[in-house]
Structure 1
Amino acid sequence: VIANGFLQPTTQKVFKIDWTGAAQALTDSSAWATAVSSQGGPADLGENVLLIQANPNNLEAKIWIHNGPRLSVQITSQALAAQNVEFVSGAPYPTVIVWPQGFLRDSEKLPIVLAPYGGPHGKRVINASPRTFASGQLLANQGFAVVVIDGPGTPALGPVVEKMVAGDLLNPAIKGQVTGLARVLALYPNSLDGSRVGIHGWSFGGYLAAGAVLSRPDVFHAAIAGAPVSDWQLYDTAYSERYLGQPHGETQANYQRSSLIPLAPQLARPLLLVHGVADDNVFFAHTLQLSGALTAAGKEHSVLPLSGATHMTSDVTLTERLEQLTIDFFTQHLKPGGTR
């Protein structure tokens, strides 16, 4: 059987497991690897297997025919432009900094934009293909340092870290971002400007971005929240109750402490909410509810409804517009002469 597995949080390897349970690594630790069988399901030894191994600066695809354990065909991709991606060592959680291409350390202090997912079932700090940090590199090239932190609740960090969000999906996740940010600021005091920090994300990342700017305006100075959950009582029951319990009785308080709605009166920084009107996962009602609470509290904010868009924006033109909007928003609010 061919299987994907982790030996460290940022790198996935492909293993061959025989019927005795012995495992042999088929890929090295320098990149993220995955295998897909010709049958579309778990790979067996008699099937054709597409083996892909990649990191941000290289993409290599191999097709492996299992007539015995031998490589039949190898295809190496065309060389891609190198990205300026640094995996930070010694950080409390897996952390990446995407620097502008050609940036010289200590030549200037860059404004920072955090770009987390930061929650259960989602990892962003992975040593995978160039597309993993392509959006971050685009933003970084406009004069930002883009920081990605996989904090409490994210997978492949062990059960202790994953269980840190049990009963509270918001505050441990925010604390993880703050702790990780403090570490990179200490590492690069002459390259990073802690007085100009933005944060943006989508889905759980949008929820985290909104929660961060609402609860910690001393750390986060502007935020874009894409498709954010505002109240877990409005979200999928199986997901919500797995982490927060039932929304009544002894665990009712878990929903209150994980909700963005009580934080609305605290808004003191620029916040843009972006949401697909046809979102069938995190319903548009979440953004309407949060915007309503902000309006009731007299807090100025912006809302961008995406007509016809669902939870993920698959339209190329719309994706391009959102990338430009992100650049423009953080340029306005984090660059010199902007408003914060």
Structure 2
Amino acid sequence: MKITKLFFTITIFISLVTSAQDKAFTLQEIWGGTFRTQGLQSLHSMKNGTEYSVIERDAASGAINIEAYSYETGEKVRTLISTASIDDLSTFQGYSFSKDENRVLLSSELEQIYRRSSKGIYHIYDVPSKGIFKVSDKKIQSPMLSPDGNKIAYVLDNNIYMLNFVTGKEVQLTDDGKKNEIINGITDWVYEEEFSFVRAFDWSADSNKIAFLRFDEREVPEFSMDVYGKDLYQKQEVFKYPKAGEKNAKVSLFVADINAMTSDQIKLGDYKDFYIPRIKWTANPDILSVQVMNRHQNNLDLIFVDAKTKAAKVVLNEKDDAYIDITDNLTFLEDNSFIWTSEKDGYNHIYHHAATGELINQVTKGLWEVTSYYGYNKKNKTIYYQSVENGSINRDIYSVTLDGKDKKRLSQKEGTNDADFSADFSLYINYFSNATTPYEYTLNDGKTGKVVREIKNNKGLLEKLAKYDVRPKEFSTIEINGEQLNTWMIKPKDFDPKKKYPLFMYQYSGPGSQSVTNSWNRANDYWYMMLAQQGYIVVCVDGKGTGLKGAKFKKATQNDLGNLEVQDQIAAAKYFGGLEYIDASRIGIWGWSYGGFMSSNCLFKAPDTFKMAIAVAPVTSWRFYDTIYTERYLMTPQENAKGYDDNSPINFVNGLKGKFLLVHGSADDNVHVQNTMQLVEALIQANKDFDWAIYPDKNHGIYGGNTRLHLFNKMTNFIKNNL
């Protein structure tokens, strides 16, 4: 009797352990942060190259500190700033140093505006004297310390101001700024979103001049958005938003001389309807670099402006049959020669040009892409970069000398490696993950790549996941429409190739994007595992138009967005549907933003292939989207109406047979809810049944509180009920 009881107890224990390893994922856990990885704080590499600084809160006192740590040991070296010893500032959220690190710009009370822009209260802390003062009583934008640390420039109410700490003198450099009319020193909405920058001014190396852009957006059409809130009446947000084919802001360039108290407009040449996506002072304090691009974005001039004579000269020109990508990789060496990245040989590579613009040499070359440029070490004339040389779904860190010799692969593990180098490039922090390894952070030698010490890992997360039925991604390539396409697949546990499984496809598919990567899980990946636990096979395919396989592959969709990409997803669905273990009558697809545009088209254009689709925050007509992004790939609607209309889901609603869920946030300043409303009206007029949901006052990300949980619960139920 005792033996039987013991056997029964052991059996129960084994059963509990086994079931624990088969634990199912839940949406509450996924969106509650249960599987979130530990990360590193954003750090600043100190100029000595041996230390880095981070913001920390003192647990005992509650003070906010900037602490300096040793790279080599990871031990705290000193406290640079503590609010415990500052009477006028109790907290701050961010910081930046002057070049000599004697002054620190501290930000607090930050208020988000759009995706990249914010305004806030800023203080200057003087390290030697430990003194502090507020830059302005009002919330300002994009403050920037001068290279000598004695001045600061910032934007307030669309005007640029300069404050001299030594003299105490404040100068207002512009006075015509006005909301929805004139902007000085910061970008308009479309530049911020599509050229990825906000601060539109820069200090010269000698701290005596400020170059800035001025946007005249008076003729740009306005877009208005209701923000409902909780008050009796809703509010209306009105901002300038140039939709494809409409007028852009007129941009002009100025150089202000602080000593001479002058501000001069620079005539760049005979350009019409153009963009200035970057300005940057060179190593020479009198030479400003300006990038000017035509509206089609297939012709780029790098111009050098002499601040003394105001003369402008084109030193480099790039042309492309499709478009040219804008980057922040331009780096000036001491002799004013410069490092530049380009796709002109068909793949993104690094080039070295003389100060006059002539090509000195192509630094990297091969049938692979440089994916990140980390910087240049002038001491040993070495460039550091990331590339996909080891397979387009992987990322590795490399070094190469300026003459293109002595290339070294510094990263050791296969997967996704990223780097944060010390100021002198002697050391770097390696950020590594792959599909089976959550983020690992190590300190590595900048010459050899050898690990100096481990900083942090996520083994605790792996131990937690050991209790769950983790469904791994299986990477492969499939031949679709003449191309080898990267794909991953997640299968249910105890997969039986003799059974039939429903297939659920995810994709994004936007130009230059990549969804199939050998990297650790994001929140959505746990959702896919959850679906696999419930009997679905989930796949993702990167079709034509996606990135990191060369310019030809990426730009194949030019002037015809939503055609070849849709064909690839349809063909992939048919390929998978032809496999013995896929139920071809139960194939669904979903996507967000560009992916929602795609999933809508797939369902409408291939009603016999897809049983259902979900589209979240989709573009439904590129006529509704902004000039810079849309015209880069389609030209204007006036020039290419066919490219806009032949692939608009709005024009293909009659093809809907399956089940369709349409979701949008009402306060989406990026992909306006207008897109969904127009598609809804078309579906109604075609008498098509569908489901839809609007999330009040939510932007393109549709998040906040329980919003994501609610959204994914809705999508999960829709899949279970219709696939």
TM-score by length of 1: 0.88
Q: What residue number does 2:443 align with?
A: 64
How far apart, in 2, do the equivalents of 1:213 and 1:67 lie? 50
- The alignment partner of 1:72 has SS state of strand
Q: What residue number does 2:192 align with?
A: none
AA of the residue aligned to 1:166: Q
- The alignment partner of 2:706 has SS state of helix
1:11–1:29 Cα contact (<8 Å) kept: no
Q: Give 1:310 shift.
A: 0.9
Residues 217, 179 of structure 1: CA spacing in aligned structure 2 closer, same or farther, 3 A cutoff? same
Give yes or no for the alignment of 1:86 onto 2:474.
yes
Residues 314, 73 of structure 1: CA spacing in aligned structure 2 closer, same or farther, 3 A cutoff? farther
Which 10-residue stretch deviates more, 71-80 or 192-201?
71-80
AA of the residue aligned to 1:301: F
Give yes or no for the alignment of 1:31 onto 2:412.
no
Residues 106, 17 of structure 1: CA spacing in aligned structure 2 closer, same or farther, 3 A cutoff? same
Say which of 385, 388, 391 aligns to 1:3: 385
How far apart, in 1, do the equivalents of 2:412 and 2:569 lie? 30
Q: More helix by proportion, 1 or 2?
A: 1
How far apart, in 2, do the equivalents of 1:121 and 1:93 lie? 14
How far apart, in 2, do the equivalents of 1:26 and 1:56 lie? 20
- The alignment partner of 2:559 has SS state of coil
Q: What residue number does 2:591 align with?
A: 201
Q: What residue number does 1:338 align with?
A: none
AA of the residue aligned to 2:386: N
Say which of 428, 433, 437 aligns to 1:54: 433
**Cα-to-partner distance string for 1:55-113 (whole Å, 9 max, x where unaligned):** 1211242332557545332133215234321112444311111112x232325211111
- The alignment partner of 1:129 has SS state of coil
Residues 323, 83 of structure 1: CA spacing in aligned structure 2 closer, same or farther, 3 A cutoff? same
Q: What residue number does 1:254 align with?
A: 643
Q: More strand by proportion, 1 or 2?
A: 2
Q: What residue number does 2:560 align with?
A: 168
How far apart, in 2, do the equivalents of 1:217 and 1:67 lie? 54
Q: Give 1:329 shift.
A: 0.6
Q: What residue number does 2:707 align with?
A: 318
1:119–1:152 Cα contact (<8 Å) kept: no
Q: What residue number does 1:96 align with?
A: 488
- The alignment partner of 2:591 has SS state of strand
Residues 61, 297 of structure 1: CA spacing in aligned structure 2 closer, same or farther, 3 A cutoff? same
Q: Give 1:320 shift.
A: 1.9
- The alignment partner of 2:485 has SS state of coil
How far apart, in 1, do the equivalents of 2:610 and 2:413 lie? 35
Residues 66, 26 of structure 1: CA spacing in aligned structure 2 closer, same or farther, 3 A cutoff? closer
How far apart, in 1, do the equivalents of 2:652 and 2:509 lie? 19
**Cα-to-partner distance string for 1:169-212 (whole Å, 9 max, x where unaligned):** 112111111222333344x41x2111100111101111100111
- The alignment partner of 2:661 has SS state of strand
How far apart, in 2, do the equivalents of 1:288 and 1:51 lie? 46
Q: What residue number does 1:287 align with?
A: 676
2:428–2:446 Cα contact (<8 Å) kept: no
Q: Give 1:313 shift.
A: 3.0
Give yes or no for the alignment of 1:121 onto 2:512.
yes
Percent identity between the two aligned chains: 27
**Cα-to-partner distance string for 1:22-68 (whole Å, 9 max, x where unaligned):** 431122463122223467xxxx614x532112112112423325575
2:573–2:609 Cα contact (<8 Å) kept: no
Say which of 1, 14, 24 aligns to 2:397: 14
Q: How does 1:201-220 map to 2 (within 5 A)?
A: 201-220=591-610
AA of the residue aligned to 2:505: L
Gapped runs of 5+ residues in structure 2?
A: 1-382
How far apart, in 2, do the equivalents of 1:214 and 1:60 lie? 40
Size of the aligned set, in residue pairs, is 325
Residues 238, 25 of structure 1: CA spacing in aligned structure 2 closer, same or farther, 3 A cutoff? same
How far apart, in 1, do the equivalents of 2:688 and 2:566 lie? 21
Greater relative contact order structure (CA < 8 Å, 6+ sep): 1
Residues 37, 203 of structure 1: CA spacing in aligned structure 2 closer, same or farther, 3 A cutoff? farther
Say which of 135, 138, 144 aligns to 2:527: 135
Q: Give 1:331 shift.
A: 0.9
How far apart, in 1, do the equivalents of 2:660 and 2:473 lie? 27
How far apart, in 2, do the equivalents of 1:134 and 1:29 lie? 24
2:574–2:609 Cα contact (<8 Å) kept: no
Runs of 4 or more above 6 Å deviation? none
1:50–1:61 Cα contact (<8 Å) kept: no
Gapped runs of 5+ residues in structure 1?
A: 335-340
AA of the residue aligned to 1:148: C
How far apart, in 1, do the equivalents of 2:552 and 2:672 lie? 31
How far apart, in 2, do the equivalents of 1:116 and 1:181 lie? 12
2:415–2:518 Cα contact (<8 Å) kept: yes
How far apart, in 2, do the equivalents of 1:262 and 1:156 lie? 32
How far apart, in 1, do the equivalents of 2:475 and 2:447 lie? 37
Q: What residue number does 1:337 align with?
A: none
1:49–1:66 Cα contact (<8 Å) kept: yes
Q: Give 1:2 shift.
A: 3.1
Which 10-residue stretch deviates more, 219-228 or 77-86?
77-86
2:695–2:702 Cα contact (<8 Å) kept: no
Residues 306, 33 of structure 1: CA spacing in aligned structure 2 closer, same or farther, 3 A cutoff? same
1:119–1:151 Cα contact (<8 Å) kept: no
TM-score by length of 2: 0.43
AA of the residue aligned to 1:320: L
Residues 332, 67 of structure 1: CA spacing in aligned structure 2 closer, same or farther, 3 A cutoff? closer
- The alignment partner of 1:50 has SS state of strand
Q: Give 1:316 shift.
A: 5.7
